[in-house]
Amino acid sequence: MLYFGIIGYPIGHSVSPAMHNSAFEHLGIDAIYLKFEVKPEDLRDAILGARALGFRGFNVTIPHKEAVLKYVEPVGIAKMIGAVNTLLLPELKGYNTDAYGAMEALRRAGVDVEGKRALVVGAGGAGRAIAFALAEKGAYVIVTNRTESRGLKLAEDVRKVGKCVFHPYDRLEELRGNLDIIVNATPLGMKGFESKLPVPEVLIERGCVVFDTVYNPLETPLIKLAKERGCKVVYGIDMLVYQGAEAFKIWLGIDPPVEVMREAALSALRS
């Protein structure tokens, strides 16, 4: 049997096990995917322990996507982004499939980002991946973050690949009427976290695309408000599925049944 899993803190919200286990079953692969709550101070031991136990791969979620770089070798865009969400073991290679997952979710929703003004809220692992991906595709990216130094650093990094500026979190209302896309890359609204909007209500205007990377619950406070105001919405579950499918290919070298994974993730959220 092959062993895979996801590590994060907290981890109760994750539906990745349902998603990947459904794919294994559908393809007749003798494998299992488990979730593990790992505190930041235990991250190194968890990764090395998993390798010693024979695990083949892991997903990495909040708050470990940047810290994990201390223990693995980043591959491809993960090196540029500075965040990893997929590990290949025993090689200790780190990949970033968040960028692909986010852009695929936007593409399938019919959103063309080129030339658009996109606000990315959050400068953690997901925020970094999405900001880089948007800038590479020709968007004008505006980064905001509660900790200004992290936001400024992300904007500086993203400018190596495209257009990006930082805007203070406490002055977001100044951007009213001047945004095409809003992306929440913070855990605000996630099950187990603070249930509040990540941006001022005045920014949620008809004609704006609102993308919430939070997928549990499916209908976050941000998504609900955006729908009420006639915005096009992009669900976090879609990013989850597409980044998960890409991780699956990295681990096993085969294409997964994406729709099977999506249905399993949705079913887990509803249960």
pTM for the whole thing?
Answer: 0.94
CA atoms of 92 and 48, how far apart (whole Å)? 9
Question: Residue 34 contacts by C-beta under 8 Å, 6 or more apart in sequence?
Answer: 3, 4, 5, 6, 17
What pLDDT shows up at residue 234? Answer: 98
**87 and 125 share one domain:** no
**107 and 179 share one domain:** yes
**184 and 124 share one domain:** yes
User: Which CATH number is 129's domain given?
Assistant: 3.40.50.720
Beta strands in the chain (DSSP E): 2-8, 31-37, 57-60, 73-74, 86-88, 93-95, 117-121, 140-144, 164-166, 181-184, 209-212, 232-234
User: Which CATH number is 14's domain given?
Assistant: 3.40.50.10860
**27 and 69 share one domain:** yes
What pLDDT shows up at residue 191? Answer: 82
CB 83 within 8 A of CB 98: yes
Torsion of CA 15, 121, 88, 10, to 10 degrees: -50
* pLDDT digits 0-9 by tens, 78-95: 999 999 999 999 999 999
List Cα–Cα distances, 76 to 82, 94, 215, 247, in angstroms. 11, 9, 26, 14
What pLDDT shows up at residue 141? Answer: 98
**78 and 147 share one domain:** no
Q: Please name which of 116, 119, 182, 175 lies closest in space to residue 151, comparing C-alpha atoms.
A: 119
What pLDDT shows up at residue 25? Answer: 98
Question: Residue 196 contacts by C-beta under 8 Å, 6 or more apart in sequence?
Answer: 188, 189, 221
**164 and 248 share one domain:** no
Residue 65 is a catalytic residue: yes
**253 and 181 share one domain:** no
How many domains does the structure of the chain reveal? 2
Label the pairing between strands 86-88 and 57-60: antiparallel
**134 and 226 share one domain:** yes
Under-50 pLDDT residues of the chain: none
What pLDDT shows up at residue 36? Answer: 98
**27 and 118 share one domain:** no
**91 and 109 share one domain:** no
CB 43 within 8 A of CB 67: yes
**67 and 119 share one domain:** no
**155 and 244 share one domain:** no
Identify the three-state secondary structure at position 86.
strand
Identify the three-state secondary structure at position 191.
coil
| Residue-range definition of the domain harbouring residue 41 | 2-96+238-270
CA atoms of 205 and 131, how far apart (whole Å)? 21
What does the block give as tokens for 111? 């959103």
What pLDDT shows up at residue 209? Answer: 98
Q: Which residue in the list 35, 65, 93, 137 is annotated as catalytic?
A: 65
What pLDDT shows up at residue 192? Answer: 79
